[in-house]
Amino acid sequence: MAQGSPLSAIARAAASGAYAPYSRFRVGAAVEAGGKIYTGCNVENASYGLAICAERVAIFAAIADGARLIDAIAVACIDAPPAGPASGLMPCGACRQVMAEFADAALPVYVDGVGKFTLSELFPLPFILPSADH
């Protein structure tokens, strides 16, 4: 199992804070931005569509603290079956689009149990509004 960067260990620890009574699938994320570390976990809701992923919770915590560019992110799905496919460990498409809002194409994405990717490998053609002013 790939351990990834030290950020992956922080993501694994953050997963223990997940509120996932419906999926029973706890996810943690850790973001490095401006020399600080921000963590997140998935938070579900009885109205299922309102669930938010761990990655977005961590990214939004960084943004709320004033960051506008994230330097690295790690994600850890601690309840995924140990011998399951890598696809069950990858960040979802919505989170990849949110990463693209606040990161360069070279953003390192550490996926626990899979390996290290760049954002452009995971999400080569993001939607970016030309008027975006960070």
Residue 51 interacts with ligand THU (CB under 6 A)? yes
| 114 and 84 Cβ atoms separated by less than 8 Å | no
Residues 94-123 that bind ligand THU (CB under 6 A): 95
In the complex with ligand THU, the residue whose CB is nearer, 22 or 128, is 22
| 11 and 40 Cβ atoms separated by less than 8 Å | no
Catalytic positions are: 55
Tokens of 98: 């949110």
Smallest gap from residue 33 Cβ to ligand THU (A) = 18
Cβ neighbours of residue 32 under 8 Å, at least 6 residues apart?
Answer: 7, 70, 71, 72, 73
Residue 45 interacts with ligand THU (CB under 6 A)? no
Helix (H) or strand (E) holding 11: helix 6-14
Mark the segment that binds ligand THU (CB under 6 A) among 3-11, 19-27, 62-70, 80-88.
19-27
Smallest gap from residue 88 Cβ to ligand THU (A) = 9
Smallest gap from residue 133 Cβ to ligand THU (A) = 27
Nearest to 89 by CA among 14, 2, 20: 2
Under the rule (CB under 6 A), what is the footprint of ligand THU? Answer: 20, 23, 25, 27, 42, 44, 51, 53-55, 91-92, 95
